[in-house]
Amino acid sequence: MKLESIKTIGVAGAGAMGAGIAQVFAQAGFEVVLFDVNEQQLEKAKTEITKNLDQAVSKEKISKNDRDEALKKISFSSDLNSLKADLVIEAIVEKLEAKQDLFKKLAAFNSAETIFATNTSSIPITRIAKDIPNLKRVVGMHFFNPAHLMKLVEVITGAETSDQVAETLKDLSLKLGKTPVMCKDSPGFIVNRVARHYYVESLKMLEENVAPKESIDALMESAGFKMGPFKLMDFVGNDINFAVTSSLFESFHHDAKFRPSRVQQQKVDAGHLGRKTGKGFYNYN
């Protein structure tokens, strides 16, 4: 499928990433269906998208008419059958089986030409594509949080992904005003493989009482990083960050340099996920 053939977009998962991705496509003029099994999550996503667009209007980045038109382009649905589109992007839980199951269900009622893209942060595309009908159309399209602001998009080819599909998503990313980088399948791809140690080494220093989190954050910010590692983990969500680290640890056959942190696992077990729960490494209440 070529770029000009893509008219409708389906986004599975109405969390922070899914909502942001839906907003990006709507602002670019595409018809978008945002799906989630949770009705409350859909309402939350609608509120968040509206808030983001209102902020853009207040900063004079878009007009009120642009805001209204973007909102008209997005429909919200808890019916999986509504995800019939030219391109479907999944932004659901970071679990291989869940992603495979979703694409298998979508393949049953979508065209054989529909592109299935995954926003996975770490799971190899080749593993996700396994057993999906017409697996040449399965590709990685990894946005970064917050998706409506961050420019980078990783376009990842699995072992069977067609060159045409990859080029189409590259062109599509450019149309969205993003900066696409092309990469081959590998655990964590480019950014998460490189950046993982920003988190892992910081967590090790905290575990070993080398320095408190406040000092580590302050030092990294003074070195030029916009957010220190603990502030960033709270922003992303400790559950998501921990899941990505665990996935890389598994994919690299338990290489010690990717070992998940017991400190972060305790945060997840306690429900201290960061900003979204009001408490993580820091308090936000």
H/E stretch holding 153 reads: strand 152-157
| 142 carries an active-site annotation | yes
**207-215 CB contacts, 8 Å cutoff, 24+ apart:** 207/261, 207/262, 207/263, 213/281, 213/282
What distance in Å separates the CA atoms of residue 235 and residue 145, rounded to the nearest whole number?
9
Q: Which of 110, 122, 162, 192 is catalytic?
A: 192
Q: Which residues contact 146 (CB under 8 A, 6 or more apart)?
A: 16, 20, 52
User: Which is the catalytic residue, given 119, 121, 202, 251?
Assistant: 121
Q: Which of 142, 202, 247, 261 is catalytic?
A: 142
| Pairwise CA distance, residues 178 & 172, whole Å | 9
Long-range contacts of 26-32, Cβ-Cβ distance < 8 Å, separation of 24 or more: 26/70, 26/71, 26/73, 26/74, 27/53, 27/62, 27/66, 27/70, 27/148, 28/175, 28/176, 28/177, 29/73, 30/6, 30/73, 31/7, 31/73, 32/8, 32/73, 32/74, 32/75
Q: What are phi and psi of 99, to 5 degrees?
A: -70, -45
- ∠64-65-66 over CA atoms, to 5°? 90
What secondary structure, in 3-state letters, does 166-209 show? HHHHHHHHHHCCCEEEEEECCCCCCHHHHHHHHHHHHHHHHHCC
The answer to whether 250 is a known catalytic residue is: no
Catalytic residue among 48, 90, 94, 154: 154
Q: What is the DSSP letter of 260?
A: P
State yes or no: is 154 an active-site residue: yes
Q: Which residues are the active-site residues? A: 121, 142, 154, 192
